[in-house]
Amino acid sequence: MTFSSPTATESTWQEIVYRIANNIRLRVLEHTLKNNGGYMSQACSAAELFAALYTKIMKIGPSEAPMVPPPFLGVPASDNPHYQTGRGYNGPIAANLDRFIFSPAHYALVLYTVLIEVGRMSPEGLAQFNQDGSSVEMIGAEHSPGCELTNGSLAQAISQAVGIALARRIKGDSGRVFVMMSDGEFQEGQTWEALESMVHYKLDNMIVYVDVNGQCCDGKMCDVLNIEPLKPRMEAFGARVFVVDAHDADALAAPAEVEPDGRPVIVLCYSDPTRGLPLLNTRAPKLHYLRFVSEDERETYRNEYEKMLVELKGS
């Protein structure tokens, strides 16, 4: 279904971002209700970020992929000519266009949803989520819509993006490499290795957006393994760091407009993992995956969903 369509009164790009963000939350909640499980807090924290990346921040062309994703076409191998990645949903590869590298594979549900909301994938695509034989996998891999790298072992995507950014520099491309990450990935040593090389090679064609929702699988990151303060740590590595409110469209877009100065850009998007769905707070500190413990709980969320739907339609 379509939740809320562009209206005649919607005149600014910010309004579009907020509408799409709300739709993302609603669609992920709908999916979670239907499947008795879903990555809900990731949708709450990163909805505006994904919406802003796809509609305002990144310079990407129209999708080259089918609206309904093809079934899984087999693993990459020298004898598999059918293999393809899900990159086509992010438009063509061209010297002047940006590339979108999606890192935290556990946000796949949110990524698929934004693809629907921006018209790059049909809602039918989400019906294939986690279905046997589908490429719309629960923890996405490079064949999943919107993905072009295998990223489920966290922190590998940023390093692969380093390779892509180096290659683009050798080729003289003007387009940049955008990487979307989660803050949990900064517990991994590889992320810091990647930062060292980005700074060493002055990869100012890289811009990394981090959803800092303070959450990982076991609970709050500050209790599991604290990684703060992120900004001074990254600055000490030599990165150009911006701290923004992850739910503020203007704040999200501004760092992508700065003149390159030789330093890779990192945008720390501090977010609320229950944004738009405060009911989630009852499950704190464990927000990584929402699975209803009882039919009663599911009903509570269903009521919340109905309320959100009415609000969205009424707005």
Binding residues vs another protein (CB under 8 A): 75-78, 141-142, 148-153, 156-157, 159-168, 170-171, 189-190, 193-194, 196-197, 200-201
Alpha helices in 36-173 (DSSP H): 40-52, 108-117, 123-127, 156-171
Least Å distance between CB 170 and another protein? Answer: 8
Least Å distance between CB 211 and another protein? Answer: 21
Tell me how far apart the alpha carbons of residues 211 and 245 are, in angstroms, rounded to a whole number.
10
Dihedral (CA of 23, 25, 28, 32) sign: negative
Comparison of 97 and 141: residue with beta carbon closer to another protein: 141
Tell me how far apart the alpha carbons of residues 199 and 236 are, in angstroms, rounded to a whole number.
11
Comparison of 190 and 300: residue with beta carbon closer to another protein: 190
Tell me how far apart the alpha carbons of residues 262 and 202 are, in angstroms, rounded to a whole number.
5
Least Å distance between CB 102 and another protein? Answer: 14
Answer whether 63's CB lies under 8 Å from 52's CB.
Answer: no
Phi, psi of 136 (to 5 degrees): -85, 70
Comparison of 30 and 98: residue with beta carbon closer to another protein: 98
Comparison of 74 and 278: residue with beta carbon closer to another protein: 74
Which of helix, strand or coil describes residue 24?
helix
Comparison of 8 and 75: residue with beta carbon closer to another protein: 75
Which of helix, strand or coil describes residue 220?
strand
Least Å distance between CB 96 and another protein? Answer: 16
Comparison of 25 and 87: residue with beta carbon closer to another protein: 87
130 class by beta-carbon count within 10 Å (0-12 exposed, 13-18 middle, 19+ buried): middle
Half-sphere exposure of 315 (CA within 13 A, CB side): 18
Q: Which residue has the tokens 């993992």?
A: 273
DSSP-assigned letter for residue 222: H
Least Å distance between CB 204 and another protein? Answer: 17
Answer whether 22's CB lies under 8 Å from 247's CB.
Answer: no
Least Å distance between CB 146 and another protein? Answer: 16
Half-sphere exposure of 281 (CA within 13 A, CB side): 7
Comparison of 95 and 284: residue with beta carbon closer to another protein: 95
Comparison of 144 and 160: residue with beta carbon closer to another protein: 160
Least Å distance between CB 173 and another protein? Answer: 9
Query: Residue 168 forms beta bridges with which residues?
Result: none
Answer whether 90's CB lies under 8 Å from 100's CB.
Answer: yes
Tell me how far apart the alpha carbons of residues 213 and 232 are, in angstroms, rounded to a whole number.
18
Least Å distance between CB 38 and another protein? Answer: 24
